[in-house]
């Protein structure tokens, strides 16, 4: 018997009809399986449905990003797939475990979960890749993504896509607080420290000083020890015994030392460095006038170095002797002053 040719039927269906003698209908013929990227299209949205009294309306939300509870279902086997209530079928999401920060790529293929309040139902394979069994709190973040075709193909074939970069702990804390608010978990109240009353003047005077002091060293000559508070400069000062008092003639007239000139001393850098090994540099200025003003204020000397004018104190024999000068410069307002060693 010759069958009538229906040009609207695909060639595979016509061949099957001929083999069956014309007894099968088109509805009995399964559609050919889509391969490659065509398997992701067309995406199915579907009509709204109700679960436990809540209506869910599927939609094609491109920037979907939510937190919730993940469950594990029996469907999907070892494939990295999941069920979701509103995202298109199929679509792709990154699922992040809030307990560990691990993130995996999952293909949404089914509607669900059909009971409870879970956000997503993972297949056993997806749950194993995420390590959900070892997490005490199954809170997750589900974010829709558009992965490359290589990763899409791996999930379509039941394989795993490479793990994503772990989420930072700071972001996980924010996401966990968001999930706690959704679930009605109230964070413990923050206990503010009680204000401490300010002590009165009498109490403040009786309070012992907390400033550290340098332990005095008594010289063999019996001179008085010098005790001074520890300063903030880098090199600790060296405590030396006081020189013995020099007897003076009360009738002799005191010698009047000539008043030093207020004009700062400007000298070449090589000549200044030849007198010692250490200097306290207050600053370097592009203007000679500014350098001279700073030198006059700090009692230092100006030396030229290339196109800059340096203001320095010293020279000093060692870093210990340069320490008090550094403290003096910083107390005068030059916070960037530092000890330098001559080359």
Contact 299, 313 (CB under 8 A): yes
Q: What structural domains does the chain harbor?
A: 1-31 (no CATH), 49-182 (2.40.40.10), 265-341 (3.30.70.1070)
Asked if pLDDT for residue 205 goes beyond 90, the answer is: no
- State yes or no: cis peptide before 185, omega within 30 of 0: no
pLDDT in tens, 49-86: 999 889 999 999 999 999 999 999 999 999 999 999 99
pLDDT range class, residue 286, cuts 50, 70, 90 = confident
What pLDDT score was predicted for residue 189? 56
Contact 216, 226 (CB under 8 A): yes
* Sequence-distant (≥ 6) Cβ neighbours of residue 207 within 8 angstroms: 199
Q: How do 120-122 and 65-72 pair as beta strands?
A: parallel
pLDDT in tens, 97-117: 999 999 999 999 999 999 988
pLDDT in tens, 78-100: 999 999 999 999 999 999 999 99
Regarding pTM above 0.75, the answer is: no
Contact 95, 70 (CB under 8 A): yes
**Angle at the Cα of 87 from the Cα atoms of 86 and 92, rounded to 5 degrees:** 155
Share of the chain above pLDDT 70, in %: 62
What pLDDT score was predicted for residue 125? 96
């Amino acid at each position: 018997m010759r069958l009538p040719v229906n040009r609207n039927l695909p060639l595979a269906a016509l061949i099957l009809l001929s083999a069956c003698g014309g007894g099968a209908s088109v509805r009995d013929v399964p559609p050919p399986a889509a391969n490659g990227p065509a398997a992701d299209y067309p995406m199915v949205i579907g009509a709204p449905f109700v679960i436990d009294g809540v209506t869910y309306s599927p939609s094609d939300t491109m920037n979907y990003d939510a937190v919730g509870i993940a469950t594990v279902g029996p469907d999907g086997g070892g494939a990295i797939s999941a069920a979701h209530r509103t995202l298109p079928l199929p679509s792709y999401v990154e699922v992040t475990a809030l307990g560990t920060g691990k993130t995996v790529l999952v293909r949404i293929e089914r509607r669900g979960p059909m009971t409870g309040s879970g956000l997503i139902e993972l297949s056993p394979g997806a749950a194993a890749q995420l390590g959900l069994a070892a997490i005490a709190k199954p809170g997750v973040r589900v974010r829709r993504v558009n992965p490359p075709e290589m990763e899409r193909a791996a999930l379509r074939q039941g394989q795993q896509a490479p793990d994503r970069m772990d989420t930072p702990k700071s972001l996980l804390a924010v996401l966990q607080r968001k999930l706690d608010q959704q679930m009605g978990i109230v964070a413990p109240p923050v206990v503010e420290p009680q204000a401490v009353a300010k002590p009165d003047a009498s109490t403040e005077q009786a309070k012992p000083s907390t400033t550290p002091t340098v332990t005095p060293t008594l010289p063999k000559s019996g001179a008085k020890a010098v005790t001074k508070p520890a300063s903030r400069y880098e090199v600790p000062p060296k405590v030396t015994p006081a020189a013995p008092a020099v007897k003076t003639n009360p009738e002799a007239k005191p010698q009047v030392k000539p008043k030093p000139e207020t004009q700062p001393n400007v000298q070449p850098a090589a000549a200044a460095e030849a007198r010692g090994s250490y200097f306290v540099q207050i600053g370097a200025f592009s203007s000679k006038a500014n350098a001279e003003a700073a030198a006059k204020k700090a009692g230092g000397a100006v030396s030229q170095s290339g196109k800059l004018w340096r203001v320095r104190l010293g020279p000093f024999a060692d870093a210990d002797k340069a320490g008090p000068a550094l403290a003096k410069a910083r107390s005068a307002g030059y916070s960037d002053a530092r000890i330098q060693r001559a080359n």
